[in-house]
């Protein structure tokens, strides 16, 4: 990562304005077209959750603002952001998983499958929901039983406030087209509306070209 020189940073005014708001974060939900993506992964019998999370992780890493964090009072830009995600265990409760990001899909899938299996069986190491020692993560979660139109996120009063929270719902088919709601929750001090829109658009672009990335 590198530390941003606030005084000579284009985002200085924006950052200083929003960072002291009592609620400095905001959330937007938009629908994605999964038609081509689903057809591709189903034909190859790839898992939906891991494949979709990989596309999200890959696409959002392309937008610089999604790699910005506030750490110990400084704005830092990470080289790469890693996944942290919720998994339902065999006891029907949720637990957290995390692993290092990998650009290679097969390796990403292998790492996720290993972590998910341990979590489902209750065999992974016990840890807090948010690791306060690291900020180079996206917090991924999903609600695959409900086609929602908006989401709010419970926010802790701790140093993870600038970590993006990303949630998706149940995908639905209508008139031959499959769509799904994606919610992205970010700090307004670091991610304005334009880069947020870029994030949604980049995810859709990568979904439409899944064959380029998922091999």
Q: What is the DSSP string of 70-114?
A: EETTEEEE-S--EEEEEEE-TTS-EEEEE----SSHHHHHHHHHH
89 pLDDT band, cuts 50/70/90, is confident
204's CB contacts (< 8 A; 6+ apart) are 32, 33
pLDDT, position 52: 98
Report the range of poorest mean pLDDT among 54-68, 144-158, 197-211.
144-158
Residue range 60-83, pLDDT digits in tens: 999 999 999 999 999 999 999 999
Of 208, 201, 195, 203, residue with least CA distance to 55? 203
Whether this model's pTM surpasses 0.85:
yes
Mean pLDDT, the chain, whole residue set? 94
R_g of the chain computed on alpha carbons: 17
For residue 14, count other CB atoms closer than 10 A to its CB. Answer: 15
Q: For the chain, give the percent of residues with pLDDT over 90.
A: 83
What's the CA gap between 39 and 142, in Å, rounded?
Answer: 20
Write out pLDDT tens, residues 161-188: 999 999 999 999 999 999 999 999 999 9
| Share of residues in the chain with pLDDT > 70 (%) | 96
Model confidence at 159, pLDDT cuts 50, 70, 90, reads confident
Residue 129 neighbours by CB distance under 10 Å: 12
Q: How far is 44 from 47, CA to CA, in rounded Å?
A: 9
Find out whether 139 and 165 touch, Cβ atoms under 8 Å.
yes
Rounded mean pLDDT, 146-168: 93
pLDDT at residue 158 in the model = 84
């Amino acid at each position: 990562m590198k530390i941003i020189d606030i005084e000579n940073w284009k985002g200085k005014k924006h950052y200083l304005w929003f960072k002291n708001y009592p609620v400095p974060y905001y959330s937007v939900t938009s629908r994605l077209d999964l038609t081509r993506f689903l057809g591709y992964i189903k034909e190859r019998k790839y898992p939906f959750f891991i494949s979709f999370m990989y596309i999200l992780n890959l696409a959002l890493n392309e937008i610089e603002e999604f790699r910005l964090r506030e750490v110990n009072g400084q704005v830092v830009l990470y080289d790469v952001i890693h996944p942290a995600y919720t998994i339902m265990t065999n006891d029907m409760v949720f637990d957290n998983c995390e692993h290092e990001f990998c650009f290679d899909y097969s390796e990403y899938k292998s790492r996720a499958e290993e972590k998910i299996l341990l979590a489902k069986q209750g065999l992974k190491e016990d840890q807090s929901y948010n690791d306060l020692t690291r900020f180079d993560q996206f917090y991924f979660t999903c609600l695959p039983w409900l086609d929602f139109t908006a989401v709010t996120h419970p926010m802790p009063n701790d140093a993870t406030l600038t970590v993006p929270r990303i949630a998706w719902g149940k995908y639905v088919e209508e008139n031959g087209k499959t769509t799904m709601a994606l919610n992205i929750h970010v700090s307004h001090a670091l991610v304005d509306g334009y880069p947020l829109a870029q994030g949604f658009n980049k995810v859709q672009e990568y979904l439409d070209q899944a064959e380029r990335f998922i091999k």
